[in-house]
Chains A and B, each alone.
Chain A
Amino acid sequence: MRVVMFDIGQGDSLLVISPNRQTMLIDGGNSAQDGQNVILPYLQANGFDRLNVMVLTHPDADHVGGLPEVLRNLPVDYVVSTGQVHTTQIYAEFLQEVKAARDRYGTQVIRGVAGAEIPFDDAVKVEVLGPDPAAVNGDDLNNTSVVLRLTYGEVSVLFTGDAEQVEENWMMTNKKPLSAQILKVSHHGSKTGSSDAFLKAVGAQVGLISCGADNRYGHPHAEVLERLARHQVKVYRTDKLGTIEVEIDGYSWQITGER
């Protein structure tokens, strides 16, 4: 299994390629350009002419931005989203493109809340650990991020969107296994997430952070980097390494950056 964290600046976009070459795109970066210039060319270069699963963790523009462009250009089997209301033009455009894909290709829509089932390669176990279904109709978008745990063989990867401590705490009380060797650090390394208790529950050895170079939000925050170091999590960042690829053989992993 390969996990790709695209270098799209201050935002998130990750691609999972399963052992049997099924594809799952988790978020689409900031803008149509991220779809056009980063995501679609990567898929094309690797011989993919469809996506099996597209996940929008939450509607913030730095996560949804490139997804309409991908939907316009590739058939998608399943779209996973919480169905949260948000008022930006780009999110409305995403929903309209999902509707068009449903009419054009028969794309199926799955409500992405804890316990949801996502059809994917049988070699990979997919668990939806968040959000709390009861939280989805509120205004707190980050804390209604779709959180996924993908396990291939003995290696698990936890994808957290922008989940903050509210959602982390809810997942810890929900008693589903959170352990993962590889953690997509939430919210670009913001201090609003990655609590000590959560990092302890996950027990990751690797932390992947997607963030823009010299972003004005100060992501990743120094205190989060200190927390990760304290939990002996080795950090890989897109602002330093560019696009990051993790190759997992079911027992171990290899990580490479483009620079």
Chain B
Amino acid sequence: MGTVGKLPANAEAVLHGVIDSLEEEWAVVVLDDGQRLDWPRERLPVGTRSGVAVVLNLETVELSTADVRGVWPGVIGLQVQPDRIQVRLGDQCLHWPAAPFKTLAVGEAVAVRMTVDEGDTARRRKHVQSLIDDLFA
């Protein structure tokens, strides 16, 4: 059984978003850069619910099959843009800033780790509530 190894911490290496809704066996993840991803419910981290902010990290992998909550294995896809790498997750793909991952090759196994960010959730709720208070005053 392998482990999930962390790539060097880098602010550019993460994607931020929100669990928009839960649809059947999937959680609809809406990322701040406009990308969408359907994440399998059985791979959601503990504490996930609709409206919670999440962070997606790309990690190197010798994947532990037991380490399934919050982790989804994938592979590096063809690089279609010079500044973005493609990560294939099942029949979907995400695009990631390429700079921190220059050493990754097409076909290389990776994993995406989702973590819940309660601080960011609270910050977003406060921001949206202030807009609503203004509009519905």
Residues of B contacting A62 in the complex (Cβ-Cβ under 8 angstroms): 28
Indicate if B86 sits at the interface (CB-CB under 8 A). no
Q: Which A76-92 residues have a C-beta within 8 angstroms of B? A: 83, 85-92
Given A83-B135, A87-B121, A102-B135, A60 and B21 touching (CB < 8 A)? Answer: yes
Nearest residue, chain B, Cβ from A109 = B135
Nearest residue, chain B, Cβ from A89 = B32
Binding site secondary structure of chain B: mixed
Contact with A along B114-134 (1 / 0, CB 8 A): 000000010011011101101
Interface residue stretch chosen among B46-54, B59-67, B70-78, B93-101: B46-54
Question: B21 contacts A141, CB within 8 Å?
Answer: yes
A-B contact pairs, 21 of them (CB 8 A): A31-B34, A32-B34, A61-B36, A62-B28, A83-B132, A85-B125, A85-B129, A86-B20, A86-B51, A87-B52, A87-B53, A88-B30, A91-B128, A92-B127, A92-B131, A95-B128, A95-B135, A98-B135, A139-B51, A142-B21, A190-B24
Residues of B within 8 A of A (CB): 17-18, 20-21, 23-24, 26, 28, 30, 32, 34, 36, 38, 49-53, 121, 124-125, 127-129, 131-132, 134-136
Beyond the given A92-B124, A217-B24, could you list 18 further A-B residue pairs with CB under 8 A, ordered by the A residue number? A60-B28, A61-B36, A83-B136, A85-B132, A86-B20, A87-B52, A87-B53, A87-B121, A87-B128, A89-B32, A92-B127, A99-B134, A99-B135, A139-B50, A141-B50, A141-B51, A142-B21, A217-B26
